[in-house]
Structure 1
Amino acid sequence: MTFMTVDSRTVSQAGEDAMVAAICQIIDPHNAEHAGLLLGPGDDAAVLSCTSGQPVLTTDTLSADQDYRRTWWEGRPMEEWPRDLGTKAAAQNLSDLNAMGATPIALLVSLTLPPEFTVQWVQDFYAGVVRACSQPGAMGCAVAGGDLGSGADMSVTITAVGEPHQPGRLLRRSGARPGDILGVCGRLGYAAAGLALLEQAVASADRGAGLEVQGAAAGLLAECLEAQKRPQPPLTAGAAALRAGATAGMDLSDGLLRDAGRLARASEVKITLDEAALNAEARSLEPVAQHCEGAPYSAASDWVVSGGEDFGLLATFPSPAELPEGFRIIGHVAETAPGESAGAVLPGWTGAPGWDSMRG
């Protein structure tokens, strides 16, 4: 998306009313295609058509130096930073709805901005949100409104609203059964590999070090960087999993082993991850690990098993079952033995299980 003119006013110079008008220039054309948005930005609240009577809600916050670093975009076109942040903030919420087997219908965006940010930055941010809502599986999602505020640091919180793909049916964490197989849709470890590349560049005197690569590895490195900066979750996977008879599911945001453990505990079962399958996943990322100076020998495996922000879909299916397109088998479900706690295990794994937002 391009704009006829660049609005270089700061948000403090423009004021709230002008900012709302500038945002509407970006989101109104997108919202015009969504009949489910009965009343959008401009009133005290939005009004949505929710024909199922079962609204599905989720919310997530994106914060500086917790979820991204400004330096990741140094040397890049100035519009990439806000657009990528808008896309990532929306994508992590859309992924949650997908994991429930829900269709996204609207986002509410609460944006806190330092006063020196420009109007153009905000418009580019919302262009990124619209980009996320234009992906397959999210094209019925409007940007229904939100809130604007001023603060020392940029922070964005998005609330996403959805409806069940199939009335009365949702994909929950608590339905896995002994004998099920564990499948995943979406890439494993790519976002963590992208983070390693970005942090290597930040640590270097040359902020672009390691990111300009030629040859066979260039495409792979670019995919990893994109997975971290502007993820594209497989937003049609939740509906596909439900149609295939999935018994449980959740999105992958904090690392495969940690999230599989959450699903297992909710279902009161034991999940064993397939070492051979995950080794095959890790082999695809070995060229990236070789590119990261000082990366441990196990880096590719670490990214696959415990790297966060993949935003893929983890789901269990009855066995035997034909998995939907894009899913692959990475484990199986069993009863817990007497005295054994529910959870997920990967035989021989001694590394970290994944990301904990309270502990780091």
Structure 2
Amino acid sequence: MKNLTTILIVDDSLIFRKIVQKCLEGEDDIQVIGSVRNGVKAIAFIKQQRPDLITLDIEMPEMNGIQTLNAVQELNANNEALPPIGVIMLSAFTKKGADITIKALESGAFDFITKPEGNDQQKNYSTLRRQLLAKIRYFTSRRIASQNRQSIPLPKPKEVVPEKTEPNEPISLITQTRFKAILIGVSTGGPRALMTVIPDLCQRTNIPIMIVQHMPPKFTESLAESLNAKCRFQVVEAVDNQQVKHQHVYIAPGGKHMVVRKKGADAFIQVNDDSPVHGCRPSVDVLFHSAGPVFGKDAIAVILTGMGTDGTDGLSILKRRGVFVIAQDETSSVVWGMPGSAVRAGLVNDIQPLDKIPESIANVLKRV
């Protein structure tokens, strides 16, 4: 018997609510249990009939998407005995929509989908349906995995006298290292993961950081702006022929691949419109493949939460050059697709929970 995922649709457009509902009809593992036009009605509905997952519009009257998300998070916090309600944001393909979506993802939304805007209505419908089904099922698989881990009885710990522990050492800046770059690949759950890792990492090193986050145009720009406000480094959406410099973070622009090339003694970023790789543009594999000849073994590769297997092929190239690879662990990942694929391929040197990854990178940076 398949696990049934119950859905509440929240959008101020009746037409769009009906489109989302039609996308989910006929699936024996998904059931729409409600459809409401704003956040106020959504919270009232949840208190009467709790869904597993909400599809949530961003701009609505009375209570907007961010306010509704915060209210759902509060309900989750007050009902810890129950599985948390997940949220998939449905965003307009605009700069304002992108800014709000990044804020929602940082606040704990599971993922987002941009509302299709093309002239081909059938193609729009097919795209929306495909994305909805994929992300709902990833959410469900993540929830099942979490429940299975919690259901495994742990052995009773032996009674031991606790050792004295030293207070946590303050973060220190590593100014001397042979390493020339940190390469990061991430997808679903990325904005929140990056908000945990990057500001901390920028306090520990000066070397440049290059990030591929699976996102469409406008959204990577908003992500860069949000991270830039929180980091010691300058965080930018990468542009073509940009020199790679210390104390900078470069995020691949949405809808384009980012590669790194060597010109003389310096490294430069190039962006291109080459075909998607594994359905992704930007692609982690494309960055990783290009970085091998430029940095050799003097790079650290990090693979964080995300759907699919992007990054695994590129890591195989980097590993042959002696690059140290760190992966996020399954428990702290929103989706353990990309890091799990790298681990199963035997390409990972160190597996860490998200909040320990900056420290793990710092330990590698100290090596001769």
TM-score under structure 2 length normalisation:
0.26
Instruction: Identify which of structures 1 and 2 has the higher relative contact order when contacts are C-alpha pairs closer than 8 Å and 6+ apart.
Output: 1
* TM-score, normalisation: structure 1: 0.26
